[in-house]
Structures are given as structure tokens and as C-alpha cells.
Amino acid sequence: MSTGILVTGLGVVAPHGHDAASVFEAVARGESAVRELPMDLARPVAAATVDIDLTRWFNKLQSAGVDRVSQLAVAAADLAVQDAGGIGHAAPERIGIYVGCGMGGAAALDTAYRSTSGRVSPLTIPAFMPNAPAAHVAMRLGVRGPVLTYAVACASSSVAIAEAAKAVRCGEVDLAIAGGTESLIVPGVVLTWQAMQTLATFTAGGDAAMRCCRPFASDRSGFVLGEGAAFLVLESAGRAAARQAPKRHAELAGWGLSCDATHLTKPDAQGQQRALRAALQLSGLQPADIGYVNAHGTATKAGDAVECEAIRAVWGEALPGLRVSSTKALHGHLLGAAGALEAVITIQSLVRQQLPPQAHCDTQDPLCDVPLARAGEPLARPLEAALSSSFAFGGTNSSLVFKRA
């Protein structure tokens, strides 16, 4: 079985770099992009931020009233389109944009709330609205088809990619630009996450922040925030062949969506299993066919254990042939953009036939008893298919299956 949906373009603006190859290479080496931030808060803050000159896409006049979350989206979408060889071969009305964004323009809101002059920019509303990134991408690229935003917490961009693939598959669009963006590392937002007690703890000073996110480890204490954007260009195999697309990174072979419908913030293993099984069923693959899972793995006590329970249940006797890692340990949790960045890394693992190793897990929690990818471990067999999962507050679960093209 084949969906016939190919990934012909990749674009990333991430803490590790600005192209898919360099991002994957850094992650494969186990390099952490997490740093302690000089933020004037009661508790120390660790996060993974993006270092990029955005004047390539926005001059000073253009950037006025455009939040960083939208600027990152425009940059990553443009890079994806360039990687795909452009989009001039498709009618603008037949191109769709599908963007995941969990919280919108956090910097614009934070600036408005902290205004001491009593004056708030009239551009605050269009800057922070969650659909602003998609709108800016559409305006920059001249896209006139469906331009949609998915705000599904940590599953936002994974859901956006799945919905884009459905639109291509059913013929609603000829080409889809799908992914996500997030930039919310501002004091007000960080304080809210600290209040939830979900962020990793560490001792201020030195390099402790770099290793503070430890998915699946017995001493894990939570996640670290990250920012960035990542986009995929999706099109049918027939169209890619007809236009002689310069790259065929992978096939998006399946996707599965489900809802726990049990609790707003507590994950549910059965709900996650439903998404995993649905993605496998659509792809026509069996669990044994999947060699690698880029796990949601946020390094929270409950989240990691529940996800591993779901993986064990789905893979069953095929579990020993699987390898799992959560790359959030190195690039942070991009929330609304997490699924898209992790999809790019998963695709690169297929292209390069290399597994991103699990970082910072010196002692694995017995409740997280799944086979982790380890540094230096050779592939036991060619990597033909891999899966990336995103599980969100609100109970939405999304899994994407990719195959070698």
C-alpha cells in the first residue's frame, strides 16, 4: 500500500542550524543547543534558541508588526520551497499552506503586557494571532489556495502535515507547504511553564543546562523550551515525476490521529496506541517494518512512561528490532513546531541511514523499557521506514510514518 505522497522539500530554522543536513548532523553527534538564558526570573531558565539573520527575509520596515514566530515561519517555508526547486510549476490556487502553531506571537503579547508607557502597538493583534504565520507565508509566496492554521498544542505541526497530506491525496491541492513554527521564550510564557512544574530543573551556572533535559532517564525532571520553524513540501509521486522534482526525500506513507478524551494534561497510553496503529494501518506496514521511532519524549515523569507503555503494546514481539530516541534532549521542545522539526530529523535518518542517539540518558528508567538508540550503535538492518509521534495537551495524538523514497 502506498499513499503516493512524497516529501520533495525540507526547510528548517532550528536551534542547531538552518538546513536539514546540518541540523541532523549536529543531533547525530549529540550536540546540545540548550543553554541557560540571562532571564531575570527567580528560577534559572534553560532553552534552545535560534540564531539567524532574518534580514534576508525582512527589512526593518517589513518586520514592524511581524512577530518573530511569523518571521521564522516565512524563513523556513521559503527554504523548503527552494529545496523543492520552487513552486512556479503549480497554479497559486492549487497550492495549500498548512501551519501548526501552539501559542502564536508570544513576543507581541509580552511586549504589550509589559508596556510602562500605557501605549500598546495597534499591530499587536495581527502580530500575535495564531494564524499570522500562515498568512505571512501565503503573502510571501503568493499562495491563493487553502491557508490553514492548526493550534493543537504540542501536536500542532504534526497534525498540519497529516491534514496537508490528506488534501494532496484527495486532490484538493496539487502542492502543500506544511509544517509549524513557535517562538515563545519570553518571561511571561516561561513563568507559566515554571508554574506547571514541567520544566527541567538544573543548577545555575556552568554547563548544567545543556544536559538538563533527559528523556527516559531515571533522573529526568522535565523538558526545556525551544523555538524554531520547519516545513515540508508535499506532492503526489506522479506530479513529482512529471516535473522532474530535484529531490525526493521520503514518502509520507501514513498518518494517524486520535484523542484520549480522558484528561486535559495527563497522557493516555490507549489513546496513543490508537494513533500509532492508525498510522501503521494506512501505511500498510507492520510494527516490525519500522526501524526507528522519534518519540514525543518530553522528559516528564508521567509522559515518558506512558509513551513507552504505548510503544511496547503496539510493537509487542517486534520491539527488540526497534530503536527509539527523543531528540528534544538536544533541541528543546518546540511545542507547536515540534512535530515538524522532528519529522525533518526522522526523514533525514532514512536518507542518511543513521539513527539520532538518545542523549543524556545515563540510567534508563525501568518504566521506560524500550530499546533506545545509542551513540555508535550500527544499524542492524537497512532503515526502510521510521515514525515520528507528537502527543499534546488536550489529548490529541498524532503519528507520521515515513518510508525511503
Mean pLDDT of residues grouped by 10 in the chain (405 residues)?
91 97 97 96 96 95 92 98 98 98 91 83 92 98 98 98 98 98 94 94 94 98 98 98 97 98 97 98 98 98 98 98 98 98 98 98 98 94 98 98 97
- What is d(CA 326, CA 318) in angstroms, rounded to the nearest whole number? 20
- What is d(CA 80, CA 4) in angstroms, rounded to the nearest whole number? 20
Does residue 249 lie in a domain region?
A: no
User: How would DSSP label each residue in 100-155?
Assistant: E-SS--HHHHHHHHT-SSS---TTHHHHHSTTHHHHHHHHHHT--S-EEEE--GGG
**Residue at 220: amino acid letter:** R
CATH number for 356: 3.40.47.10
What is residue 118's predicted lDDT score, i.e. its pLDDT? 78
Domain interval for residue 99:
5-242
Contact 336, 156 (CB under 8 A): yes
Does residue 247 lie in a domain region?
A: no
What is residue 137's predicted lDDT score, i.e. its pLDDT? 98
What is residue 109's predicted lDDT score, i.e. its pLDDT? 86
Strands (E), 14-80: 35-37, 45-48
- For 22, other C-beta atoms within 10 Å of its C-beta total 13
What is residue 134's predicted lDDT score, i.e. its pLDDT? 98
What is residue 116's predicted lDDT score, i.e. its pLDDT? 76
- Pick from 214, 242, 270: which residue ends a domain? 242
Does residue 146 lie in a domain region?
A: yes
My answer on whether 227 and 303 are in the same domain is no
Q: Of these residues, 101, 154, 308, 368, which one is catalytic?
A: 154
My answer on whether 234 and 346 are in the same domain is no
- What is d(CA 129, CA 101) in angstroms, rounded to the nearest whole number? 10
The reply to whether 16 belongs to the active site is no
My answer on whether 236 and 259 are in the same domain is no
- Pick from 242, 270, 304: which residue ends a domain? 242
pTM for the whole structure = 0.97
Strand partners, 98: 148, 178
Give the Å distances, CA to CA, from 148 to 74, 100, 274, 368: 15, 9, 25, 36
Query: What are the phi and psi torsion angles at 331 (to 5°)?
Result: -110, 5
My answer on whether 224 and 261 are in the same domain is no
My answer on whether 209 and 278 are in the same domain is no
Q: Of these residues, 18, 296, 331, 360, which one is catalytic?
A: 296
Sequence-separated (6 or more) residues with CB below 8 Å from residue 106: 67, 69, 128, 183, 184, 185, 186, 188, 189
Does residue 56 lie in a domain region?
A: yes
**Residue at 334: amino acid letter:** L
My answer on whether 74 and 137 are in the same domain is yes
Does residue 187 lie in a domain region?
A: yes
Q: Of these residues, 16, 18, 331, 333, which one is catalytic?
A: 333
Which string of b and e fits 300-320 if b means at least 16 CB within 10 Å?
Answer: beebbbbbbbbbbebbeeebe
Contact 224, 333 (CB under 8 A): yes
My answer on whether 99 and 216 are in the same domain is yes
Does residue 305 lie in a domain region?
A: yes
My answer on whether 260 and 230 are in the same domain is no
My answer on whether 235 and 259 are in the same domain is no
Does residue 203 lie in a domain region?
A: yes
Contact 153, 396 (CB under 8 A): yes
My answer on whether 200 and 328 are in the same domain is no
The reply to whether 154 belongs to the active site is yes
What is residue 1's predicted lDDT score, i.e. its pLDDT? 66
Query: What are the phi and psi torsion angles at 338 (to 5°)?
Result: -60, -50
Query: What's the domain count of the chain?
Result: 2
- Pick from 192, 207, 242: which residue ends a domain? 242
What is residue 17's predicted lDDT score, i.e. its pLDDT? 97
Does residue 248 lie in a domain region?
A: no
My answer on whether 124 and 259 are in the same domain is no
My answer on whether 384 and 287 are in the same domain is yes
